Every structure is written in structure tokens, then in C-alpha cells.
A = this chain, B = another copy of it.
Amino acid sequence: MKIRSTKQQLLNAVNIAGRAVAVKTTMPILECLLITADNMGISIMANDGEMAVNTLIPSEKCEVAEAGTIAVEAKLLSEILRKISSSDDAEVILSSDGNLVEISSGKAMFRIQEKDPVQFPELPSVNENVKVILSEFTLKEIVRDTIFSISLNDSNRMMTGELFEIKDNVLTVIALDGHRVSIRNTPLTASYDHVRTIIPGKTLSEVSKIISGDAEKNVVISFDPNYVSFRFDETLMLSRIIDGDYFRIESMLTSDYDTKITVNKKEFLDAIEQSTVLIRENDKKPLVLKIEEEKLGLRVNSLIGSLDASLPAEKTGADLMIAFNPKFLLDALRVIDEETVTLYMTNSKAPCFIRDEKKTYIYLILPVNFNPAAY
């Protein structure tokens, strides 16, 4: 194999595919990139066993002097490419004799050991019949707005993924961890078949790192009984899905409430940030919200000290004192782009809902117990 391209083209492709390189593995071949050169161009692939990424440098952006396939350690190749020249436009030549790869640019030449490409796992064949098309911008937003509320603890594997459900031309994405539920409803412009599948959180965060977030570019998501795939630009990302029947949460999603308040989002966020100064991991004191006429009070009373803050609020319904883990409020507020947010509550034991009128986002957060006399 012998190929030529620019430092930038190669490094970009290596970084994209690199998202699926295995980090801790007993199979060293999964730490490699498989590089295939043919008349299509140069394709670079990684596969960590759960997820695979294949990206192409099309033939018009590179030169394939000799077709072939090699496997090389991903991290090493990426470091070499980063340092081989200070210019992004520098020409880089990769050539292999089946044992060593030579990587050269200008007056620098690296020689590193190849791995056996035959050991590299083949991509499963996937049925790409059931598709939905989103803009890169929309997919990135959906992931950003929900991914924080998956569970990182895989004692319940379904909680480490997100439900993608398409029904009545709406894509509903749900993430939950037992303390909260985050929901994003996205109207779709076309009509699609019913889909209900659980995509691993890791797959979603990696795909959202690779895509640019451009509103003019599309991602085609295909659903197979065992896999999900994302196609965009010159890249295919393929991932196993999580088996199981996802939680039925419809019954939790009441629209009734006894207390409703609307506050400025930034003021609320700043006040909650203040409360976190006094709340440490090993001292699980809650943030208490004291909802009164025209006013939202925030109180903390911890081993470290106390905080008493307030902000103006528009209130409908009854006064209420209710307590939360401030992290869950912060996570939701940080991804809401509106200037004001509205909270819907029933009592101090029932879930609080943060949602917009159209329910494009719904954040359900469970309150925590507290002793009202202390606040």
C-alpha cells in the first residue's frame, strides 16, 4: 500500500475513526485503525466491539499509488501525524511493505510496526431500511439536552442508554437514571414507521462529538433489530443497541399541578450555583426552594455554612417548600436556551416538571426529603 494526502485530511479521518478505538481491551487489534486504500480513496476504520466508525478520504482528496490494507496502532499514528509537520497542508506519504509502515513528510520519516489486518473484525451487515433524517444541529442538540441524565452505573443497562422512539411523526428521546427523566420531543418533517430502540449513551456522545452541528448537513439514522447506524459526510458509525423493553413512563407525565412558577433562567442558575459551594458529596444537604408570592427563596443549611438567596418569580397556585439535589436542577437548566423557565409542582413529595408550553423539552426531577422546620 502507498498513499498520499495532506496532514489535515489524514489527521481528521484518524481522529474521527479514533472515536471507536478500544481503550482497555485484551484484544490489541482493537487498539488499531484499519486503513484500506482502493479506487474509492482511503478508508479508515476502528471497532471497539460495541461500536464501529468508518470514514473515507475520497479519491479526489488523496492519491492511492498502490492499493492495499494495513492495521496500525491508532494512538501512535495520531501522534505521529500531529507532529510530523507544523503545516496542516503538508503532504504526508504512508507506505507499507507488509511489515513496517513508513510515514514521511518533508525531511522527517517515521517507521513503525504494522499489525495483522486479517485479525481486524469485520463490520456486521446491517439492514438500513428503517431510516430517519435529522440535521446535524438537531441531533447534537437532542443528545446535549438529554445525555446528562443517563445512569453511568450499569447495574441497569437500559439506564445507560437513551430511548429513541418515533411515533406520529415525532421523535421522542428519553434518558432517565431513577432520580429524574429528561425528554426531548422533535417534530419530524416526513412520515416514518414506528421505531422504539435503546441506543447506548456512549454511542450518542461519540457521534455528537464527531458531527459538526451544522444545520445544513444531514445525518441519516437507520434502525436494524440489533444495530443503529449514523451516516453523515463520508462517515458511517455503527453501534449495537441495548436489548430490553424500555421503561413505560407515560403514567408519570401528568399535566396537573398546584404550584407553577416562572423565573429568569440565568438568575435561577446563578443562585443554584451558589448553593453548590455549601453542599459537598459526603454531606448530602438539599437545596430548599421556598415559593411565595412573587418570590422564589433558596436556602441551604449544611455543615459548611448557610445560604439565603431569593429572586423574583411569577407564581400561580399555592405557596410551597420543596427540596432538591441542586445538581439535577443545574443539569437541566444548563441546556435550556430560553430566557425564562417554568416549574410545575404538586407538593413537596411529587415530581417537579420543568417544561416549555409545547413540551419540546420535559425535565422531571424527584424532590428529596427535608425537615421544613430547619429552613
Q: Which residues of A contact B (CB under 8 A)?
A: 76, 79-80, 83-86, 107-113, 266, 270-271, 273-274, 276-278, 304-311
Contact = CB atoms under 8 A, between A and B. Distances in A.
Copy count, this protein chain: 2
A301 to B, nearest CB: 9
Contacts of A307: 108-111
A305 B111 contact: yes
A80 B277 contact: yes
Contact of A83 (B86, B110, B277): B277
A107 B271 CA distance: 10
B110 A277 contact: yes
Nearest to A309: B108
B273 A109 contact: no
Contacts of A274: 80, 83-84, 108, 110
Given A80-B277, A304-B76, A270 B86 contact: yes
Given A84-B274, A270-B83, A273-B83, A305 B113 contact: yes
B309 A109 contact: yes
Given A266-B86, A305-B113, A108 B271 contact: yes
Contacts of A76: 277, 304-305
Contacts of A305: 76, 110-113
Contacts of A311: 107
A337 B289 CA distance: 56
A273 B82 CA distance: 10
Contacts of A112: 304-306
Given A86-B266, A86-B270, A270-B86, A110 B79 contact: no
Q: Tell me which of A76, A85, A107, A112 has the highest count of chain B C-beta atoms within 10 A of its own C-beta.
A: A107
A271 B200 CA distance: 42
A341 B306 CA distance: 59
Contacts of A84: 274
Contacts of A83: 270, 273-274, 276-277
Contacts of A270: 83, 85-86
A11 B164 CA distance: 46
Contacts of A266: 86
